[in-house]
Structure 1
């Protein structure tokens, strides 16, 4: 902190900070925002998702004059939209393409690979393009296993995840950026906020549970007008909701739909299924049903697919993310009522 303060005291035009460190410096009155006119939040959805909303609001309170606030993100789920409405004055939304859409410069290839065959097939996928290649996994154990496997096979690889210390992470990132290492194996810590130049190929060893994480991951390649390849392994471990979202994302980007996704029963496409299954009385048949007509609900609300998370393969009533948020809220309210140690009675 001392070295950072020395730089700030000399006078700066721009400060780039994490919310925690900035809040700390402001609370200790080591710096102030009296002359600051612009506040930019990069990956704003991620900051709100990770629970930094209160920290950001505290930073807002330190501004003395009028400010302009800019929120940048590749995806705009409901949570960040609500934050923008409550924290900003008359916010203006600027969309470059659809929020949450995949980059059209990325060739998306989705392949069905059995769980036990994935690590062997990984070597074949690495032959598709020259390095550098980025491999994403869902958990730390898989990152370590793949890293070890690639080293044994003679591949120059490094790994980063939340369990590694800062020194290991910095070495991995700097050697990968410098071209000394060909492959970086990582969890979602590398899916946002890190800019690696000229990534040729992104491999999703595990398909993420939420489609917005998939969009962020494949966005590591195909940057600045260059084209890139994203290969994703899927199997029966993925939920049908996630696969339907992926199918619609591929359709929107005009990519090849693999047969395993094409065969999925899609409620968004098949509005006439109920009509063919049973006779509907004329009086009910004349009713305007927005659930049957996907285009009607889109034109009315301006929202494709799910209004909460932005997924294209389901509506808000089937949203797994919303369901998870509700479960967490209920669990939180139960803890508040009963206390962490169970029932809190009075004697």
Structure 2
């Protein structure tokens, strides 16, 4: 065989008939595959080849996915955070100022929301929840049950009652139809309580039915009777079944934020219980459990079974920890001025008290001012609660004529004497500063005005003397701090003077509510000047407008920075209409108290 030239294999001779052009490997494989597919007659072989092709394609897809996963893992958290911030910045740029403010307020509200419910430690630890209201033996009369929903709606509409909840008991506009003993109804009439007030028309049947309840009504509207009467009747029922012995009870407790309010509630319970005894019903033992008094003075009550306890939180906790009282059989708990009880310095005390309960209880919260934050918390904490609202929560009593006057600080004392001439005594003068309370009393005494003073730094004996002397008519004027503004009942007062406007509009509502009670009218004169915070003046302006009162020109001239065409919403923390949650004075004060308590200061203050 002749030897080949080295380059013969690579010669490109176009005339060479044996020349085969170059075909890429992948193309040759495809041609081979096509040839095999076209020539084979076996269906199984075709399917096998198709599966091999599909598998090859899937392998390529999996390889690409794996590559992308490696790239994703290689991205740092910093890069991802930057992308999130960039997306949020784009979204924020598209939002209006009102939407941004609403989001900020929602975040603040969520941050300050109460995390623990009104439940005992045992219930929280064991995850015990109650799904059905407490059962009671009370039933409405048949003719009341037979009413249709439209008839009940008209009764509520006539009395401006707003209700929320499931299976709300029917309103009852007659004490006898509530199945209250006739002797007690006669006693009410002797006290000029002829028919139920709106909060009583819906509130008493709701409480009688064993339902958890949130009761909101303006000051002087009869809330005390609405929550005391159901407890008295329940205690009476239990005593009739089996007399209470020493160490037994109570059936229920009523918590109040101040000693004065607790004392007033206690006296009302004693009065109504005594009326029942005169009608032949068994006596009830009621214990007043407040600081500043010796419990040995009530040893005659402690040595018997106790039916009802009216208390302030601190002293009640002391009695429970010393085992002088037990809540093993307690099935009723009411908090008067509930927004204060839950929201301010008593929050931990209330939680502590709840830990002493052993069984399900009926819980009632009452107040004239119940901001949305507290309402939301209560809705989550209570068992199928019924909300009974007479007017807007935090609105002023419409029976009070509100007069706001601009008075320079140095002229207040002199002008106070002029204001005292508007109406005959008795008159209450409110000031937020304890030292100022004493100064006003001293000035009035020097001017020949019979005046007493009450504030948190005075002893309990001094506070009790001041209230008794004022109620009895021995003294014409009572100068008070905020301690006398919550719930105290002075029926004959025609005039309240607010010497220094409180920062929180809730306090103002409570203070002017000392007059215009039980359907009567009254006057509230308020001094303001440059020392009054602008947002407080805005709250006052909107409150006057809501109540249809005359708004002074200097208040009308104050512009609301939020008024940019949107709908103004009240603060969910304090209910004020002139500010949002971001600049709420109540929230600021609460945070200040918490900081003081963490640093070892006195978080309570005020001597409640």
The within-5 A match list for 1:1-347 is: 1-78=295-372, 80-81=374-375, 83-85=377-379, 87-268=381-562, 270-272=563-565, 292-294=566-568, 304-325=569-590, 331=595
Distance 1:53 1:86 in 2: 16
SS at match of 1:212: helix
Confirm or deny: 8 A CA contact 1:45 1:79 kept in the other structure: no
- Residue 240 and residue 106 in structure 1: after superposition, are their counterparts in 2 closer, same or farther (change >3 A)? same
Confirm or deny: 8 A CA contact 1:135 1:202 kept in the other structure: yes
Further displaced range: 59-68 or 217-226: 59-68
Distance 1:28 1:125 in 2: 50
Cα deviation digits, residues 249-294 of structure 1 (max 9, x gap): 00011000011101111235x425xxxxxxxxxxxxxxxxxxx234
Confirm or deny: 8 A CA contact 2:453 2:480 kept in the other structure: yes
SS at match of 1:71: strand
Confirm or deny: 8 A CA contact 2:398 2:547 kept in the other structure: yes
Cα deviation digits, residues 144-185 of structure 1 (max 9, x gap): 111111111111111111222222211111110001110000
Confirm or deny: 8 A CA contact 2:572 2:581 kept in the other structure: yes
Confirm or deny: 8 A CA contact 1:248 1:312 kept in the other structure: yes
Confirm or deny: 8 A CA contact 1:177 1:197 kept in the other structure: no
SS at match of 1:94: strand
Unaligned stretches of 5+ residues in structure 1: 273-291, 295-303, 341-347
- Kindly state the Cα deviation for residue 87 of structure 1 after the two structures are TM-superposed: 4.2
SS at match of 2:309: coil
Q: State which structure, 1 or 2, has the greater radius of gyration over its C-alpha atoms.
A: 2
Alignment coverage as a number of residue pairs? 307
Cα deviation digits, residues 72-131 of structure 1 (max 9, x gap): 111113553365256433443221111100000100000000000010000010011011
Further displaced range: 147-156 or 189-198: 189-198
Distance 1:43 1:153 in 2: 36
Distance 2:388 2:433 in 1: 34
Distance 1:29 1:197 in 2: 38
Question: Hey, what does 2:207 align to over in structure 1?
Answer: none
- Kindly state the Cα deviation for residue 60 of structure 1 after the two structures are TM-superposed: 1.8
Distance 1:324 1:169 in 2: 25
- Kindly state the Cα deviation for residue 222 of structure 1 after the two structures are TM-superposed: 0.6
Higher helix share: 2
Scaled by the length of structure 2, the TM-score of the pair is: 0.48
SS at match of 1:2: helix
Question: Hey, what does 1:282 align to over in structure 2?
Answer: none
SS at match of 1:195: coil
Confirm or deny: 8 A CA contact 1:207 1:234 kept in the other structure: yes
- Kindly state the Cα deviation for residue 328 of structure 1 after the two structures are TM-superposed: 5.9
Distance 1:189 1:201 in 2: 18
Scaled by the length of structure 1, the TM-score of the pair is: 0.82
Distance 1:11 1:323 in 2: 44
Question: Hey, what does 2:11 align to over in structure 1?
Answer: none
Confirm or deny: 8 A CA contact 2:487 2:510 kept in the other structure: no
Distance 1:98 1:5 in 2: 43
SS at match of 2:349: helix
Unaligned stretches of 5+ residues in structure 2: 1-294, 602-608
Further displaced range: 317-326 or 166-175: 317-326
Confirm or deny: 8 A CA contact 2:491 2:518 kept in the other structure: no
